[in-house]
Amino acid sequence: MEEIINVSGRSIPHVYPHLEVWGGPIALYLFFGGLAAGLLFFASFFYLKGKADSMPMTVKVAPIIAPIIIILGLMLLLYDLHHVLYFWQLFLHFRIESPMSWGAWTLSVIMIPAILWPLSYLDDIIEYLKENKPNCKMIGLLNWANDLIKKLPVLPAIMDLFIKNRAMVAYVTIGLSIVLGVYTGILLSAFNARPLWNTAILGPLFLTSGVSTAAALLMWMSNDHKERTLYSKIDLMLIAIELFFIIHMFMGFLSSGVAQVEAAQLLLGGPFTVVFWVLVVGMGLVLPAILEIMELRGFHVPIAIPAFLILMGGLLFRFIMVYAGQASGFHIL
Amino acid sequence: MFKAIENQDLIVVVDTMPMEMTGYADVVLPESTYLERHDYSRAGKNRVPQIAFRMPAVEAKYDSKPAWWMAKELGHRLGLEKYYPWKDLEEVLDWQFKQVGSSLEEMKKIGVKTFPSTEPIYLLPGEDYEFNTNTGKIELYSTDFAEKGYDAMPKFTRHDSPDPGFYHLVYGRAPMHTFGRTQNNPYLFDLYETNNVWINPRTAKLWGIENDSDLWLKNQDGVISEFSAKARLTERIRPDSIYMVHGFGHTNKHLSRAKGRGINDIPLITKIKIDPIMGGTGMRNNFVTFLLEEPSKEEIIASANYKAEKPKEKAASKKKSEKKSEATKGHKQESHKKEEAKS
Amino acid sequence: MRYAMAMDTRKCVGCSDCVVACQTENNVPLGYCRDWIVEAVKGTYPDTVQMHFKSERCMHCENTPCVRTCPTGASHVIEGGIVKVTHDECIGCAACIEACPYEARYVHPDGYVDKCTFCDHRLEQGLNTACVDVCPTSCLIFGDLDDPKSDVSKILKEKDWYVLAPEAGTNPQLYFLK
């Protein structure tokens, strides 16, 4: 028998014997970041494709969610800081090697197009809501906001400039949204000490997953049949890519050192196995893929079901990665 | 022991901590700890003869006093002033240090003073030396023992073996704690807050005990431990024995941290062997078995009389209740003193 | 200058004096610690059962993932290779805690991240670290690796040693003597 124990009574909250210094707020923050990145990506992409009028939900309406969830995500991040009164130190430094620093700056920069984009479409959003959901209580609020903006001094001029250069803004936003999507994975993968996170594939995997959750949300919100079918197809493709990345990730772990193999075991026969394979892969990827294929083949499936499953799968995936990653580490003998 | 306590007219306890025994005392004299008081110097004729000065590192807390102060004050009150012709221990120490060519002033600076050896510390080659035995030699065969009718050569006697399901109770110490008196120290409590029961993994498997399982111990005479401890499965103990650190399982509620932590080995030691020649005691010949379910309070009380006769309950006898009132008076006086000191 | 510590696993008795010395010297709040003792037992009774103790703390690595992942520069390396945290720059994001393979850092109840400093305030006065000074078996040896005459340089030349999780690539500066 091999026995390794701590004899000096070491028991430190969130660190020892179980590392759990990051928890739910970080997982939610990563989920919101990925979702916002996906929404902004689709809005910019389809705007550039000239689909602003044929896909109003994607280009004009849905982006209003992005700034809201980015702010929510930032609030979660601030909530998770233990020395929160010093958070401004984040914006006094830019450290090129620190993903946390990258994230703080990327989120701040992407906030500009994320806020201006939906503001520039406020008239269209109000019209869309009046047409489709005349009883929506948001309409009054949006009207009030719209009037207020027009009365403000500098903002209308900025908005004009923004609308004139929307194509250029869209290109920049695509770039920034990819950085944000990848960042949600890099934030975790930059830690050599956590073998389960320390794989380069986590960036693309989280980007794909984020974009896929955004596609699911758009599919759910849209009431245009064509738009829905398009997102159904996009989602199918993204799910395939995700599965491919996940398989690749495990192949990488299993052919690596003992720490990586042990990390992979957490998901392949360890405490996180059932949740990962049943809830994330099964319910969050494979089942919605089957439902969407059935839908495309002509069976009627309420669109909310696969969309909800994909969103839940994406959220759970981040929770599991955050917690399982902290359970992985080097053998210290 | 409880009978012995009952038969005392007066029990005075001098201790640094509120221990189990203080609960039975009529008068408690709280003593300051060794870091808060002067003590008589340590002197040793080691390879290098030396004296060491023991002085307080911090001021004494609460109303605690050093033992020398208690002795002197009691002496004064008994009219024995002439035996205490000094103000405090520093004066005594200064006089003592001066007898060996040092002084309190010097010792305060250096702490330890060494002296040259005045006689050789080893036997010299060829030196004629007689040991303190009948023959003057080192005796493997003790003529003394033979005369008194004992085995002159030690004979092997097999130790007792436990019944099936019972294990040798082996106790020892942890380096973090000093006997039973440091368990309530916040730092040391943080290091080692409870003892655990070391069990060999093979034994544990028979019982279905896992690491950190809660268990109670019952000894060969049916005495059940008052509290539980967690199991530690380790190869550091033989399969026929269990080990635990002594000094835990305190019951005094004033030990705010240590109370109720771990198993106290003392009540489980009901069989004490006495060496017929020199009277030494052997206490590691008791056996215990495991209780995996929490025993009821009644069971624990019934298993031994140590719990049944708490000071509260013994107040039934008239004599005791009288004493109690005295004791509370004493306490009141003390607390009164404390208040005075504060103001 | 390159400070390092050697720890003799054969001399350590696990008394944890180093832990309490550090707690009192550095005002570490109760329930937390910057150094700690690990006991490792190998073998099966009655065959050879081996055991040893290790006194562990921040390894003050040469390659510092904690400093790299810090978003504000609060974690930094000072003269002698000592890794320190500036409390007023730390935002408590805990990225450095995730980055440390040795779990040597913790979040102080006041919010910032805290860890062993090799008692740099004592080194400035020409003293040893608190843990080294109190060790009753002298199993901790501290000094400058760049000075070939220092105790730690000499003992690392004389004896076999190992470091923890070398595959993490951090090049730790706490050496364990076999």
pLDDT 10s digits, A22-79: 999 999 999 999 999 999 999 999 999 998 888 888 988 999 999 999 999 999 999 9
Instruction: Find the mean pLDDT for residues B266-270.
Output: 92
Average pLDDT value for chain B: 86
Question: How far apart, in whole angstroms, are the C-alpha atoms of residue C119 and residue B179?
Answer: 32
**C152 min Cα distance to partner chain A (Å):** 22
- Give pLDDT, residue C144: 96
Question: How far apart, in whole angstroms, are the C-alpha atoms of residue B52 and residue B100?
Answer: 12
B218 lies in some domain: yes
For residue A257, which residues of chain C lie inside 8 Å, CB to CB? 167
Give the pairing of strands C75-78 and C82-85. antiparallel
- Give pLDDT, residue A284: 94
State which residue of chain A sits closest to B190, comparing Cα positions: A9
The position carrying tokens 């008994």 is B78
Question: CB pairs under 8 A, 24+ apart, for C168-172?
Answer: C168/A192, C168/A193, C168/A330, C168/C65, C168/C101, C169/A192, C169/C63, C170/A192, C170/C59, C170/C61, C170/C62, C170/C63, C170/C64, C170/C65, C170/C101, C171/C61, C171/C62, C171/C63, C172/C59, C172/C60, C172/C61, C172/C62, C172/C102
B50 lies in some domain: yes
The DSSP 8-state label assigned to residue B156 in this structure reads -
Q: Domain A24-327 belongs to what architecture? A: Up-down Bundle (1.20)
What pLDDT band is residue B322 in, cutting at 50, 70 and 90? very low
Same domain? For B63 and B139 the reply is no
Question: How far apart, in whole angstroms, are the C-alpha atoms of residue A290 and residue A311?
Answer: 16
Q: Which of A253, A254, A244, A251 is nearest to A281 (CA)?
A: A244
Question: CB pairs under 8 A, 24+ apart, for B40-45?
Answer: B40/B89, B40/B92, B40/B93, B40/B96, B41/B93, B41/B96, B41/B97, B41/B107
- CA A30 vs. chain centroid, Å, equals 6
Chain segment C84-94, per-residue pLDDT in tens:
999 999 999 99
CB contact under 8 A, C98 and A191: yes
- Give pLDDT, residue A122: 86
- Give pLDDT, residue B257: 93
B134 lies in some domain: yes
The DSSP 8-state label assigned to residue A55 in this structure reads -
B148 lies in some domain: yes
Lowest pLDDT segment from A311-315, B150-154, B324-328, C13-17: B324-328
A12 reaches B (C-beta below 8 A): no
| pLDDT higher than threshold 90 for residue A1 | no
- Give pLDDT, residue B314: 42
Question: How far apart, in whole angstroms, are the C-alpha atoms of residue A321 and residue C93?
Answer: 18
Same domain? For B44 and B111 the reply is yes
C44 reaches B (C-beta below 8 A): yes
Instruction: Find the mean pLDDT for residues A239-254.
Output: 96
- CA A325 vs. chain centroid, Å, equals 18
CB contact under 8 A, B175 and C13: yes
For residue C19, which residues of chain B lie inside 8 Å, CB to CB? 191
Say whether C24 sits in a helix, a strand or coil. Answer: helix
Question: How far apart, in whole angstroms, are the C-alpha atoms of residue B325 and residue B331?
Answer: 10
Give helix then strand counts, H and E, for chain A.
Answer: 14, 1
Chain segment C137-172, per-residue pLDDT in tens:
999 999 999 999 999 999 999 999 999 999 999 999
Max Cα-Cα span within chain A: 76
| pLDDT higher than threshold 70 for residue B326 | no
B12 lies in some domain: no
| pLDDT higher than threshold 90 for residue A133 | no
Question: How far apart, in whole angstroms, are the C-alpha atoms of residue C100 and residue C168?
Answer: 10
| pLDDT higher than threshold 60 for residue B320 | no
Say whether B227 sits in a helix, a strand or coil. Answer: coil
B321 lies in some domain: no
What pLDDT band is residue B313 in, cutting at 50, 70 and 90? very low
Same domain? For B91 and B186 the reply is no
The DSSP 8-state label assigned to residue C35 in this structure reads E
Please count the residue pairs, one from chain A and one from chain C, whose beta carbons lie less than 8 angstroms apart: 161
B187 reaches C (C-beta below 8 A): yes
For residue B257, which residues of chain A lie inside 8 Å, CB to CB? none
| pLDDT higher than threshold 70 for residue B329 | no
CB contact under 8 A, B235 and C43: yes
Domains of chain C: 3-177 (3.30.70.20)
Contact C104, C118 (CB under 8 A): no
Instruction: Find the mean pLDDT for residues B22-43.
Output: 92
B191 reaches C (C-beta below 8 A): yes
The interface predicted TM-score (ipTM) is 0.90
Radius of gyration of chain C (CA): 16
| pLDDT higher than threshold 70 for residue B342 | no
B323 lies in some domain: no
Task: Tally the residues of chain C.
Answer: 178
Q: Which of B171, B160, B168 is nearest to B248 (CA)?
A: B171
| pLDDT higher than threshold 70 for residue B336 | no
The DSSP 8-state label assigned to residue C124 in this structure reads T
A10 reaches C (C-beta below 8 A): yes
Same domain? For B47 and B110 the reply is yes
C69 reaches A (C-beta below 8 A): yes
Which residues are bridge partners to C51 per DSSP? C41
| pLDDT higher than threshold 80 for residue C175 | yes
Same domain? For B135 and B191 the reply is no
Same domain? For B145 and B228 the reply is no
Question: How far apart, in whole angstroms, are the C-alpha atoms of residue A282 and residue A270?
Answer: 17
Q: Which of A22, A257, A259 sits opposite C98 (nearest CB)?
A: A22
CB contact under 8 A, C16 and A8: yes
CA neighbours closer than 13 Å in the CB half-sphere of residue C152 = 21
Percent of chain C whose pLDDT exceeds 70: 100
CATH at B277: 2.40.40.20
Same domain? For B147 and B105 the reply is no
Q: Between residues B306 and C45, which one has the greater pLDDT?
A: C45
CB contact under 8 A, B201 and A1: yes
Residue A270: which residues within 8 A CB-CB, separation 6 or more? A324
Question: How far apart, in whole angstroms, are the C-alpha atoms of residue A162 and residue A323?
Answer: 41
C14 reaches B (C-beta below 8 A): yes
| pLDDT higher than threshold 50 for residue A266 | yes
Question: How far apart, in whole angstroms, are the C-alpha atoms of residue A131 and residue A223?
Answer: 12
Chain segment B78-126, per-residue pLDDT in tens:
999 999 999 999 999 999 999 999 999 999 999 999 999 888 888 888 8
Q: Which of C16, C24, C49 sits opposite B191 (nearest CB)?
A: C16
Instruction: Find the mean pLDDT for residues C36-44.
Output: 94
The position carrying tokens 């500036």 is C86
| pLDDT higher than threshold 80 for residue B335 | no
Say whether the peptide bond before residue B49 is cis (omega within 30 degrees of 0): no
- Give pLDDT, residue A120: 87
**B176 min Cα distance to partner chain C (Å):** 5
Q: Which of A95, A193, A326 sits opposite C70 (nearest CB)?
A: A95
Percent of chain B whose pLDDT exceeds 90: 68
Say whether B139 sits in a helix, a strand or coil. Answer: coil
Chain segment A79-122, per-residue pLDDT in tens:
999 999 999 999 999 999 999 999 889 999 999 999 999 988 88
DSSP result, A92-126: T---TT-HHHHHHHHHHHHHHHHHHHHHHTHHHHH
What pLDDT band is residue B328 in, cutting at 50, 70 and 90? very low
Q: Between residues B174 and B6, which one has the greater pLDDT?
A: B174
Same domain? For B150 and B177 the reply is no
Residue B220 identity:
Q
- The ranges assigned to domains in chain A are 24-327
| pLDDT higher than threshold 80 for residue B330 | no
- CA B84 vs. chain centroid, Å, equals 30
Q: Which of C14, C30, C41 sits opposite B236 (nearest CB)?
A: C41
| pLDDT higher than threshold 80 for residue B310 | no
Q: Between residues A300 and A30, which one has the greater pLDDT?
A: A30
CA neighbours closer than 13 Å in the CB half-sphere of residue C1 = 10
Question: How far apart, in whole angstroms, are the C-alpha atoms of residue C174 and residue C5?
Answer: 5
Q: Domain of B60?
A: 31-119
Counted domains in chain B: 3
Starting from the edge strand earliest in sequence, which strands make up the sheet with C3-8, in order?
Answer: C140-144, C3-8, C174-177, C161-162
CATH at B75: 3.30.2070.10
B97 lies in some domain: yes
Contact B262, B196 (CB under 8 A): yes
Chain segment B165-191, per-residue pLDDT in tens:
999 999 999 999 998 889 999 999 999
Same domain? For B206 and B150 the reply is no
Contact C13, C138 (CB under 8 A): no
